[in-house]
Amino acid sequence: MLAFIVLAAAPKWIDNSLAGYALAYDETHKPIGIRDPRSGYMLVRGVECDGAFLTLLLTRDRKAVASEGFRLPKKGSKNDGVLVIVDRRLTSLRTGKGIEIGTSPHKVQASLGSPKRIELKGRFVNYVYEWKAQNEPVQTQRYTFKAEKLIEVCFVRDEREE
C-alpha cells in the first residue's frame, strides 16, 4: 500500500527578512538590537528556547523592545549582561516582500492577501497573518497601523513543541 504525504504550500505572505535582517538563529544570526538614529526605528532579533522561538521586530516602541530583553544604552552605564541596542543605520524600513513603514492597510492587504484576523487595540489596528503546516514551525506576522499607516512589523517563528 502506498501512502502519500501532502505538503501544504506556504502562503505568499511568508517573509523572513525585515530591514535587511533575517528571521534566523545560527552562528551568523545572533540576537541583535539596532536603533537607526535617523529614523528612530529599532530592529531587534530576539531568541528564546535555544532558537526554537524567534522574533524579528521593527518598531519605535521602547516597551516592545524591552519585552524582547533589550534596552537602550544609558550614558556612563556598563553593560550588565542585558542585551543593549546599538546605534547603526538600517538599510531600509521594509520587509523582504517590499512592505514599507508608512504603507496603508489597503496596500498591505493587496500585496499579502487577507489577514487571518484583524485586531483593534485603541488607536492601533493589527493585521495578523498566521500559518501552521504539519511538521513546520508556526509562522506569525503582525503589521501594526496607526492613523492608516504602518508603524510596526513583527515576524515570529515558533518551533517549540506544544
Confidence at residue 51, expressed as pLDDT on a 0 to 100 scale:
64
Mean pLDDT of 137-161: 93
Domain total in the chain: 1
Q: Which of 74, 73, 72, 75 is nearest to 59 (CA)?
A: 72
Query: Per the confidence metrics, is the pTM higher than 0.75?
Result: yes
For residue 77, tell me if it sits in a domain: yes
Confidence at residue 111, expressed as pLDDT on a 0 to 100 scale:
95
The residue range of the domain holding 52 is 17-155
Confidence at residue 141, expressed as pLDDT on a 0 to 100 scale:
97
pLDDT at 76 over 60: no
CA distances from 152 to 7, 28, 78, 117, 156 (A): 32, 25, 29, 17, 13
- Kind of pairing between the strands at 83-84 and 70-71: parallel
pLDDT at 47 over 80: yes
Q: Tens digits of per-residue pLDDT, 116-133?
A: 999 999 999 999 999 988
For residue 12, tell me if it sits in a domain: no
For residue 124, tell me if it sits in a domain: yes
Q: Which of 152, 159, 113, 132 is nearest to 18 (CA)?
A: 152
Mean pLDDT of 122-146: 93
Half-sphere exposure of 142 (CA within 13 A, CB side): 16
Q: Where are the beta strands (DSSP E) in 63-148?
A: 70-71, 83-84, 86-87, 117-121, 124-131, 138-146
pLDDT at 4 over 80: no
